[in-house]
């Protein structure tokens, strides 16, 4: 059974739900992971989109990243923007702009602009501007 589907016209690599990727995954384009996908190695692409329940043991390196709800990750390094959705947890996020949604947990965030939308748990913030949207 195939774990990947490549859409060459749009430059997207789809990882099917409930897949386990046990090696380093690098793709020139976008990577979209289905529900409950586990990545045991690093993930590299222009854009990485994780659906709910994904797990990334390695590092995510990209230009833009969307970390879906209830995901677990170790490190995200992006050139532009990272969005972390509710109930996701990770150790480190670095980008120009980081948006943390309500209920996520990140140990350290380093960015030029950090937007915290609601109650998020962040142990250490390092950035130029920090904006809190809700009480």
Into how many domains does the chain fold?
A: 1
Containing structural domain, residue 33:
4-100
Q: 58-79 burial, b if ≥16 CB within 10 A, otherwise e?
A: bbbbbebbbbbbbbbbebbbbe
**What pLDDT digit, counting tens, does each position of 69-120 carry?**
999 999 999 999 999 999 999 999 999 999 999 999 999 999 999 999 989 9
Q: Quick count: other Cβ atoms within 10 Å of Cβ 100?
A: 30
Does residue 125 sit within a domain?
Answer: no
What global pTM score does this model have?
0.92
Does residue 20 sit within a domain?
Answer: yes
Q: 4-24 burial, b if ≥16 CB within 10 A, otherwise e?
A: eeeeeeeebbbbeeebebeee
Contact 44, 61 (CB under 8 A): yes
Does residue 37 sit within a domain?
Answer: yes
pLDDT confidence of residue 135: 60
Instruction: Measure the CA–CA gap between 108 and 87, rounded to whole angstroms.
Output: 16
């Amino acid at each position: 059974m195939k774990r990947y589907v490549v859409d060459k016209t749009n430059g997207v690599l789809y990882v099917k739900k409930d897949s386990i990727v046990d090696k380093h995954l690098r793709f020139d384009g976008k990577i979209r992971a289905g529900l409950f996908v586990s990545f045991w190695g690093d993930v590299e692409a222009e854009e990485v989109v994780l659906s709910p329940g994904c797990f990334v043991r390695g590092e995510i390196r990209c230009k833009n990243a969307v970390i879906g709800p209830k995901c677990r990750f170790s490190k995200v390094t992006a050139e532009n923007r990272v969005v972390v959705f509710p109930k996701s947890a990770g150790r480190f996020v670095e980008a120009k702009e980081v948006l943390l949604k309500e209920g996520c947990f990140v140990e350290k965030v380093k960015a030029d602009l950090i937007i915290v939308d609601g109650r998020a748990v962040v142990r250490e913030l390092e950035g130029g501007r920090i904006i809190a949207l809700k009480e």
